Amino acid sequence: MKTSLYNDHVALGARMVPFAGWDMPLVYRGIIPEHLWTRAHASVFDICHMGEFEIKGATAEADLERLVTLGVASLKPGACAYGYLLAEDGGVRDDVICFRLAPDRFWLVVNAGTLAGDRDWIRAHLSPHTTFTDLSPATAKLDIQGPGARQGMEAAFGQALPPLGYFHFQEVTIQGTPCLLSRTGYTGEFGYELYVPANEVPRFWNCLLKSGQILPAGLGARDTLRVEMGYPLYGHELRLEWRPAGASRGRFMDMAKPFIGRESVRRELETGAYRVLVGLLLEGRMAGRAGDPVMKDGVGVGEVTSGLFAPSLNVAVALAYVDQAVSRPGEALAITVRGKSLNARVETLPLYKNGTAREAR
Amino acid sequence: MLHNPDDLKYTKTHEWVRTKDEEIEVGITDFAQHQLSDITYVELPELNRHLDAGEEAVVVESIKAASDVYAPIAGTIVEVNEALATTPEVINSDPFGAGWIFRMKPDHANDVDALLSSEAYEASLPAEH
């Protein structure tokens, strides 16, 4: 499938790659330059492949409360929160952001690769009077991320944006078009996720790029940015075969309310019998990759789920699940890569400490 | 994309070969560096190592993946590009020049003749490039 911006990406010289059934831009000018520009200025990412569901009605809150791990009742209109969509056995079906637009109206933003499965699963678990609408085909998503995002967008659109706290959003009208603007993102930098009608997204994209303050960035930079922050990527750090205890150590889950999968998550948290997701700092440029074993004194203690050269840290890093006994910051471990042993030290997340995501701008 | 220089020889696996006196210099083509995108690490071969034609000589890591570079012909490693240890990105910026990776002394100098010409190499690339 192609997003509404496919021709714009090709015109910009993007290298297109298949991702979750979509042809997506991997890189325009270079992954590292796009990464560094995002940290220092602002970039726009085409994220139209992700899915948006609207869930509405007097019973929507109670239905969502059972479906997702985050606390829905405590979510005020204009706020959004991150959590998991679990299977009965606690396996992670997806990680989602839940937006409350009104007391009886919600959005769930879901991953592209899990969209169809999520849709069936959610519909099968809704009360008869809760309405479900898959907004994805008609909804485009642009992520504008970086310390200069607000300034760049206000200049591009010729209008002021409302002040928004982190993980808050507002329905806004931009150049006459109704949009949803959210102070969220996947880079660790200040910025927004902007939802616009799919048929209007080429106009928004080109308007944002016109001044040169905001440059396009591809999925390559999106990955390096999120790995430096320790943000999980579904299919790497989160999987249907794994429960979420080790990914978040209990965060993003309101254990005081019943939700699908809770009993198995509770058992796991109580017994402590799970590996935890940690960040690893290596010593050189050579990187471990997903699937590479993590060792302590020659014994296997974990596995890498994402690994790459981190452009802002100028060293290779990894995300890995490791035994709790070796998960403390400072712990000296090793990753076996092509028969070589690379020293790796457990480091607190985020690996990149200077992100601006929570700053007011 | 850069033109593939006519004075070089090529392999189907995207190495280029420049003959210099009794030795050959080896790198990867502009097509290959473009496919890999940002190169972040090069695992260089040991000096004096003997390699058969087609044997894995080097691992080039990009942001996304690790890829092998093969010995185009049989020979012995006589020099490696030490600059790549700190600035591997020169393979991206100057693949046919400063981005050379290693030099070999061939077992048989005329093995180079059997490699691809620039035209034959270009004909082997996917049509969209």
Q: Do A289 and B64 touch (CB under 8 A)?
A: no
d(CA A238, CA A225): 18
Give me the phi and psi of A138, to 5 degrees please.
-100, 0
Mean of the per-residue pLDDT values of chain B: 95
Chain A CB contacts of B38 under 8 Å are 27, 30-32, 220
- Within 27-86 of B, beta carbons closer than 8 Å to A belong to 34, 37-38, 40-41, 43, 59, 61, 63-66
Q: Do B63 and A286 touch (CB under 8 A)?
A: no
Q: Do B61 and A220 touch (CB under 8 A)?
A: no
Taking only the tens place, the pLDDT of each residue in A140-180 is: 999 999 999 999 999 999 999 999 999 999 999 999 999 99
A&B contacts, CB < 8 Å = 49
Chain A CB contacts of B65 under 8 Å are 289
Q: Please give the domain boundaries of chain B with CATH numbers for all domains.
A: 9-123 (2.40.50.100)
Q: In which band, very low, low, confident or very high, does the pLDDT at B129 lie, cut at 50, 70 and 90?
A: very low
Residue of A32, A289, A313 to mutate when probing chain B, most B C-beta within 10 A: A32
Shortest CA distance from A218: residue in chain B: B37
Taking only the tens place, the pLDDT of each residue in A256-266 is: 999 999 999 99
Question: Do the domains at A6-48+137-228 and A275-351 have one common CATH topology?
Answer: no
d(CA B16, CA B25): 8
SS3 per residue for chain A: CECCCHHHHHHCCCEEEEECCEEEEEECCCHHHHHHHHHHCEEEEECCCCEEEEEECCCHHHHHHHHECCCCCCCCCCEEEEEEEECCCCCEEEEEEEEEEECCEEEEEECCCCHHHHHHHHHHCCCCCCEEEECHHHEEEEEEECCCHHHHHHHHHCCCCCCCCCCEEEEEEECCEEEEEECCCCCCCCEEEEEEEHHHHHHHHHHHHCCCCEEECCHHHHHHHHHHHCCCCECCCECCCCCCHHHHCCCCCCCCCCCCCHHHHHHHHHHCCCCEEEEEEECCCCCCCCCCEEEECCEEEEEEEEEEEECCCCEEEEEEEECHHHCCCCCEEEEEECCEEEEEEEECCCCCCCCCCCCCC
Taking only the tens place, the pLDDT of each residue in A305-317 is: 999 999 999 999 9
Distance between B20 CA and the closest CA of chain A, angstroms: 31
Q: Do A220 and B63 touch (CB under 8 A)?
A: yes
Side-chain half-sphere of A337: how many Cα atoms within 13 Å? 23
Cα→Cα distances B65→A222, A311, A314, B38, B128, Å? 15, 15, 17, 10, 23
Chain A CB contacts of B40 under 8 Å are 32, 285, 287, 308-309, 316
Distance between B40 CA and the closest CA of chain A, angstroms: 6
Give B49's DSSP letter: -
A211 or A340, which is more confident: A340
Say what the pLDDT of residue A67 is. 98
Residue of B64, B67, B86, B90 to mutate when probing chain A, most A C-beta within 10 A: B64
Contacts of A80 (CB under 8 A, 6+ apart): A97, A98, A99, A100, A167, A168, A169, A182, A184
Q: Does A23 touch chain B (CB under 8 A)?
A: no
d(CA A89, CA A84): 13
- β pairing state of A131-134 and A51-56: antiparallel
Q: Are A305 and A293 in contact (CB under 8 A)?
A: no
**Nearest-CB residue to A309 (from B34, B41, B43):** B41
Mean of the per-residue pLDDT values of chain A: 97
The domains of chain A are located at 6-48+137-228, 275-351
Say what the pLDDT of residue B70 is. 98
SS3 B84: helix
Among candidate residues A209, A138, A132, the one with its CA nearest the CA of residue A177? A138
Percent of chain A with pLDDT over 70: 100
Q: Is residue A5's pLDDT more than 50?
A: yes
Say what the pLDDT of residue A273 is. 85
Q: Is residue A104's pLDDT more than 90?
A: yes
Percent of chain B with pLDDT over 70: 98
Chain A CB contacts of B41 under 8 Å are 284-287, 309, 316
- Within 272-331 of A, beta carbons closer than 8 Å to B belong to 284-287, 289, 308-309, 316
Q: Do A308 and B63 touch (CB under 8 A)?
A: yes
Taking only the tens place, the pLDDT of each residue in B96-120 is: 999 999 999 999 999 999 999 999 9
Q: Do A15 and B43 touch (CB under 8 A)?
A: no
**Nearest-CB residue to A26 (from B37, B43, B66):** B37
Other C-beta atoms lying within 10 Å of the C-beta of residue A202: 16
d(CA A43, CA A209): 9
Chain B CB contacts of A289 under 8 Å are 65-66
Chain B CB contacts of A309 under 8 Å are 40-41, 61, 63
Topology given in CATH for the domain delimited by A6-48+137-228: Gyrase A; domain 2 (3.30.1360)
Q: Is residue A352's pLDDT more than 70?
A: yes
Q: Is residue A325's pLDDT more than 60?
A: yes
Q: Is residue B4's pLDDT more than 80?
A: yes
Q: Does B13 touch chain A (CB under 8 A)?
A: no
Residue of A16, A28, A31 to mutate when probing chain B, most B C-beta within 10 A: A31
User: Following CA atoms A181, A159, A144, A21 in sequence, which dihedral angle do they give, to the nearest 10 degrees?
Assistant: 60
Domain A275-351 has CATH 2.40.30.110: yes
Give B122's DSSP letter: H
Shortest CA distance from A26: residue in chain B: B37
Shortest CA distance from B37: residue in chain A: A30
What does the radius of gyration of chain B's CA atoms come to, in whole angstroms?
Answer: 13
